[in-house]
Structure 1
Amino acid sequence: MKKTKSLDMENIADMAVNQDVGCDDILEFNQFDGLPFSSRYYKLLTERKTLPVWGAKSEFMSYITNHQLVIISGTVKTGQSTQVPQWCAEFCLSVQYRHGMVVCTQIHRQCTVDLALRVADEMDVNIGHEIGYVIPFQNCCSADTVLRYCTDDMLLCEMMSDPLLERYGVVLIDQAQERTVSTDLLLGLLKDVLLARHELRVVILTAPHSFDKLLCHYGNVPLIQLEGEQPSEMVYGPGRGGVKDYLYTSLQLVMQIHQSQEHGDIVVFLATEQEVECAFAILRGEGTGVASSLGELMPVSVCLEQKDSVSVLTEVDGRCRRVFLTCGPSEDLFWATHSIHFVIDAGVQKRYVYNPRIRASSVVIQQISKSQAECRKQLTGPTGKCFCLYSEKTPFPVENVPHIQESDITSTVLFLKRMEIAGLGQCDFIDRPDPEGLMQALEELDYLAALDNDGNLSEIGIIMSEFPLEPQMAKTLLAACEFDCVSEVLTIAAMLTAPSCFLVPSVEFKHQALKCHQSFHHTEGDHFTLINVYNAYKHNLMSYYSIKRWCDEHFLSLSALQMADAVRAELTEILTRLELPVSCPAFGSKTNTLNIKLALLAGFFMQVARDIDGTGNYFILTHKHVAQIHPASVYGTESPKQSLPNWVLYHEHTLAENNCIRTVTEISAHEFIQMTPQYFFYNLPSSESKDILQYIKSHGTAAQSKSKAQTHSNSAGGERCIIQ
């Protein structure tokens, strides 16, 4: 039964009593809500006391009382992500929340939600009251919340309005070993915050082999090391290089385990989403025909992009053996799954590495870190078996390269410039960003008019930093206010921020899916196609069941469209708060089409390419690289024959096997010249494409375009928000 709050939080501390199990004759009250404990609380307390972290509680409480910063090292099965935040809440309660409540960061959205739900259950309180969570576009907290789980990027957003995090008495940074950009920013900025707030406590939770850098960064601080339980049996791959064809070997092992009639689920760690998809299709086809006393073999795809990936882990339907197929840094997704007895680890991962010289990311397959390898081994527990498809002597790196050294950090630099305005000094990074990437980010912000002559944020830059968007898209949204196409650009921004809504099914349904997706194609380009999809989704949004059926019939992701809807609503709220004009929808008219393109060019003029031979080889102006349009584009090879545009604007360029530009829209050279800052144009490297643009510019065609735009501006009337 759900408990009802009835007491004021200010009087809770006086009601704290001894909570030892076994005092059945004493009515015990929960110190956080003042109500009697339920029988489930005692059952879960017994389970909690068996966790490896439990023995460190006394030591931890002593450290957090006497030190500003504490580091705890342990794996996913030690219980640190659920127990330590509760102890921090007890610490804040002991001082009656004089310095604030507790916040604990996570890197995965679904882990954030599931941890909050589990901890609320263990603490015998209501989710959304004493325990809450905040993830992008979803806030499940209240004024009574004393322990908040949130994603690391959401805590950064809070720092924009509360740079010293004054609402918190304890800040926990979980999964620090993953070294995401947001986590690294928090670890760097918190050094300054600790100096400004001596009452603040910071707790860092990390994996084994990853705490050395933290100790060097923060100095002589307390460290608690937790020992996890190793599996009962380890099987390593042959020779120095291990198993070469790890996908085939993994599937063989899965079938052998299933036929051996041993109980327990299986986790298979592969490198890429494509391998997960392939393994899923094979096991789904082969598993049904394999006889076993355990019944059906049920493959489960667990990818970080999937909205419900973790909730799938806790669902068991009938008599079956589940095979969880996953990739990437997803070890923490299995913290609550106790049925896993077998782990198959390929020992490799996919990483996106950004190259600032060509403003594109490449896909690299590389070894996992030593911390990841150890975490994967401990997922099975002491009775399990781990198959490592690599040699026992494989020299894994101690940790992965920090994401801040491999990512486009333009958004990061914009955020740090905003933090300087808020009063925080330079971010003391554990590992500094790549200097070339930093220079490219500053140059890009300068081109976008986000910086003034002194290198500080301009008024436009300050407004851009208010939006949870990449800087180019934020500038596009501001330009849309000038060109009276805010409604349409809001939709484009939301659809590109959310995961792709286009589902790619198995081979037998691929042609049908392609035809459905083509029904939304717009002749002007992919950005306009996204508007078509969103408008169709809103038109069919009658009930959850009907829209679910509609999405399935059109091979569209309902969760992605729902997220896009939430993003759009948040962006609209920000525009209203900033008192920026929001135009009425006018999608489909020639004027609106031109305005959308001009707004896109205001932000993405650095991502323009020209077809150099009429066959789809597009020359990218900024770095002389040649790429092709993605096959699924309006102009791609999978679409009906359509003349290729001469000039295009694109949203993304990835150096992978196909070397494609994605989300492409046709533009004209005149429109490009009109919207491009002159100093960017002159800084373009010499090329035939630049010569063509210079010829048009010199012969006055651009002036004619400007005259036409001015005529349209006068005829449209109304108040405008001038961007440049």
Structure 2
Amino acid sequence: MNSGNPLPKRQRFSNGNGMDQSEDLYQHRCSLPIYSARGKLMRELRRNASSIVIGETGSGKTTQIPQYLVEGNMCKGGTIACTQPRRVAAISIATRVAKEMNVNLGEEVGYCVRFDDTTSAKTKIKYMTDGMLLREAILDPKLSKYSFVILDEAHERTVHTDVLFGVVKKAQKQRSGNEARALKVLVMSATMDVDHFSRYFNNAPVLYLQGRQHPIQLLYSSDSQSDYLFAAMVAVFQIHQKQPAGEDMLVFLTGQEEIETLVRSIKEVARDLPSDCPGIVVTPMYAALPSHLQMKVFQPTQPGRRKIILSTNIAETSVTIPGIKHVIDTGRVKAKSYQPGSGLDLLKVQWISQAQAWQRTGRAGREDSGTCWRLYTENEFTRLPANTIPEIQRCNLASVVLQLLALNIRDVLTFDFMDPPKKESLSSALEQLQLLGAVDKENNQQLTPIGRQMSVFPLEPRLARVILASKQHGCLEEILTIVSLLSVESIQHSPQNKREAALAAWRKFLSSEGDHVTLLTIYRAYKGVKGNKDWCFENFVHQRNMRHAIEIRAQLRDLCVKAGLPFMSCGQDTTPVRKCLVQGLFMNSAELQRDGTYITLDRKQAVSIHPSSCLFQCKPAYLLYNELVQTTKCYMRNVCVIDPQWLYDVAPDYFRQRVSRNR
């Protein structure tokens, strides 16, 4: 297949070592598998309103297609949006493309992620998270500033991506009458159910890009692994002792706790290795990690050393991490599953899909040939589901429905989802929003002024409602702190061999009013010592998570300024704080029974206080909780003591038949 017109060469520039980087980048672009298909690909994209592109990981589709569109003058005066499921991918790809185009990041090429918009009026290629494009659609449903929308990594089927499919499809239809202002849509992935996507986008043609940039050797485990975390550590050191320095590793794990456990274990084992082994640099990567720490994985490895990146599925797609030669795939992922009947939000470790497995494999062949070590048997791989179940079919839809209503999509029950969730889930979400005061009681397809304000906050609707309620109770400063701390992994940590010492250290922070006030006390103490590292160590406070919470708090504070909320503090009396929490979380309440157990007030479900709670040994008459988690029992996490009268004050109709008056 001929490439058509060759790539235009960019202005030359030097890297300071006498090497011509422009020529190197030009040669790199020409060597990508997508380059040979450039001419035919551009003809198809000109011809069709919507297209599906399937290309192996490393083929160059994410970095090159937007550049081809600019070089082919297909922007029509508009901007090219290329969405990514994750912020780290949007930032790193934009940085790469700006370098290839020899422009400053934020000018012709930029990115937009939550709380970080690095674009300008000159921007032609804009990499962004799908959530940010959705937020733009709330203000401009026709997406008027864009001429091309590229929906990348479509196989991931995140909630935002699935909603975006319908929003973009509707915008395209609204603009179809004017050829000069028509919106073109391109859906891309390395692997997905192409027929399903094609049908949804009006039988869009499917374009296949042949070839991978570099070969990847695939190795399976000979036996099933019962302890995948231990198996991962064994694989790390097998590779480390046999392969030369400079061949970095990427290990896929399920969450922060696992990653930090393995970081410690690898460092301990590495101390006893022979002196002729390369040095090890262990780098974690997960969503709760602050952005500047996430970006550390892209720093080049020093000569004679090996970088070992321990990551969640955040590194699964679109991210090229320099030096990665070996991928270790545990075959597991942590995923949410919501049950609308019980209100139970399960976050559990489960097997990945085959589509996810191939995405992980592709991380090993981005810059050179590589190897993927699958810590499961070939037979186990064949039993994996072909594709990931769309998140929209397994999560609480309150945030989704709030977003759709903010987009002025009236009948959410008939919204054009690619894979519609159950009507029961959508109806349950509408009911939640109505109870929170976000939806008009007479017309449940109309947002109230409170609902419109709630939609501005990138939070679960219940927590957004708590923030707005702080205006009434005069405690925004405290509520911002609590919501921020609830938005990160636990700020308390207790090593297995120091459990008693950790409990003793936390005792001075414990509040008889519950976990929310305890978190507030820890935060105030942390600020009092100005985040002292030694203080964190002595008190078993997770400094990294605390810093991340402070970043989130600053971002939420900016949104509160824009919303005109008054910044007030309730001081040492935390009753207003608990009253405020009730306004958003009143549906999450439980009552003590005569036999010493608890039942939820809404569904009469038997629940227990989680062992990690400061109230675990207590029996308050009424409790509020943030979430239910199912392990050996159904546990309430993050609980606080409340007065049942507060429940009546907030939602009298809801509780009239639910709360006994035996006080």
Q: TM-score range by the shorter chain?
A: 0.7 to 0.9
Distance 1:18 1:233 in 2: 32
Corresponding residue SS for 2:363: coil
One-letter code aligned to 1:392: E
Rg larger for: 1
Which residue does the alignment assign to 2:454? 464
RMSD of aligned alpha carbons: 3.2
Report the counterpart of residue 36 of structure 2 in structure 1. Answer: 55
Note if contact 1:294-1:321 (Cα within 8 Å) is conserved in structure 2. no
Q: Does residue 238 of structure 2 align to residue 256 of structure 1?
A: yes
Alpha-carbon distance in 2 for matches of 1:273, 1:561: 14
How far apart in 1 are the matches of 2:603 and 2:541?
Answer: 35
Superposed CA deviations along residues 424-472 of structure 1, whole A, max 9, x for unmatched, are 9953111001222112111111212222212222333233223332221
The 8 Å contact of residues 163 and 422 in structure 1, kept in 2 or not, is answered as: no
How has the CA–CA distance of structure 1 residues 534 and 157 changed in structure 2, closer, same or farther, with 3 Å as cutoff? farther
2: distance between equivalents of 1:80 and 1:313? 20
Query: Which residue of structure 1 aligns with residue 649 of structure 2?
Result: 674
Indicate if the aligned counterparts of 2:320 and 2:363 stay in contact, CA closer than 8 A.
no
Q: Which residue identity is paired with 2:235?
A: L
**What pairs up with 1:584-603 in 2 under 5 angstroms?**
584-589=568-573, 593-603=574-584
Instruction: Tell me, yes or no, if structure 1 residue 455 matches structure 2 residue 433.
Output: no
**For the residues of structure 2 that align with 1:118 and 1:450, how far apart are their CA atoms?**
42
Offset, 1:238: 3.6
- Asked whether 1:492 is paired with 2:468, we answer no
Instruction: Work out whether 1:440 is the aligned partner of 2:428.
Output: yes
What does residue range 410-559 of structure 1 map to in structure 2 within 5 Å? 410-420=398-408, 427-452=415-440, 453-456=442-445, 457-497=447-487, 499-500=488-489, 502=491, 504=493, 506-507=495-496, 514=503, 517-538=506-527, 556=541
* Paired letter, 1:653: L
Give me the TM-score of the superposition, normalised by structure 2: 0.87
* Secondary structure of 1:343 counterpart: strand
Cα distance in 1 between the residues matched to 2:31 and 2:632: 48
- 1:554-578 residue CA offsets vs partner (Å, 9 max, x unmatched): 5555565455445444544444544
Moved more, 323-332 or 41-50: 323-332
AA of the residue aligned to 1:325: L
In structure 2, distance between residues paired with 1:423 and 1:434 = 15
Code of the residue aligned with 1:286 in structure 2: it is: V
Unaligned ranges ≥5, structure 1: 1-16, 22-27, 31-37, 638-642, 685-689, 697-724
**How far apart in 2 are the matches of 1:488 and 1:269?**
37
Q: For the residues of structure 1 that align with 2:311 and 2:551, how far apart are their CA atoms?
A: 27
Amino acid at match of 2:239: I
The residue aligned with 1:14 is none
Q: How many residue pairs get matched? A: 638
Task: Provide the rounded CA distance (Å) in 1 between the counterparts of 2:68 and 2:503.
Answer: 52
* Residue 297 to residue 493, structure 1, CA distance change in 2 (3 Å): closer
Q: 1:272 to 1:346 in 2, by over 3 A?
A: same
Q: 1:280 deviation in Å?
A: 3.0
Kept in 2: contact 1:281–1:506 (CA 8 A): no
Alignment of 1:58-97 (within 5 A): 58-91=39-72, 94=73
8 Å CA contact 1:265, 1:340 repeated in 2: yes
Q: Deviations over 1:533-557 (max 9, x none)?
A: 444455555xxxx766765665555
Aligned residues of 2:401 and 2:412 also touching (Cα < 8 A): no
Q: What are the ranges of 5 or more consecutive residues in structure 2 without an aligned counterpart?
A: 13-18, 177-181
Match of 2:343 among 359, 365, 368: 359
One-letter code aligned to 1:490: L
Q: Which residue of 1 aligns with 2:620?
A: 645
CA distance in 2 between partners of 1:425 and 1:613 (Å): 42
Partner of 1:179: 157
Write the distance in 2 (CA, Å) between the matches of 1:208 and 1:245: 29
Q: Which moved more, 1:367-376 or 1:278-287?
A: 278-287
Shift of 1:215: 1.1
Identity of aligned residues (%): 31
Whole-Å Cα distance in 2 between the matches of residues 90 and 518 of structure 1? Answer: 63
Give the one of 288, 294, 297 matched to 1:312: 297
Whole-angstrom distance in 2 between the partners of 1:297 and 1:379: 20
Please name the residue that 1:291 is paired with: 274
- 8 A contact 2:289–2:548 mirrored in 1: no
The aligned counterpart of 1:640 is none
Q: Is the 8 A contact 1:540 1:547 kept in 2?
A: yes
Report the counterpart of residue 105 of structure 1 in structure 2.
Answer: 83
In structure 1, how many angstroms separate the alpha carbons of the residues matched to 2:116 and 2:543?
Answer: 17
Deviation at 1:189, TM superposition (A): 1.3
How far apart, in 2, do the equivalents of 1:535 and 1:165 lie? 44
The aligned counterpart of 2:101 is: 123
Is contact 1:354–1:408 with CA below 8 Å preserved after alignment?
yes
Distance in 2 between residues matched to 1:323 and 1:536, nearest whole Å: 35
Cα displacement string for residues 589-627 of structure 1 (whole angstroms, at most 9, x for unaligned residues):
3xxx33222221111110011333686x43222223333
Q: Which residue of 1 aligns with 2:167?
A: 189
Structure-2 residue corresponding to 1:220: 203
The equivalent residue for 2:179 is none
Residues 210 and 371 in structure 1, CA contact (< 8 A), matched pair in contact too:
no
2:265 to 275, 282, 286: 282
CA distance, structure 1, for counterparts of residue 502 and residue 195 of structure 2: 50
Matches of 2:556 and 2:232 in 1, distance apart? 44
TM-score (normalizing by structure 1) = 0.80
Q: Aligned pair 1:656/2:634, yes or no? A: no
Give the match for residue 133 of structure 1.
111
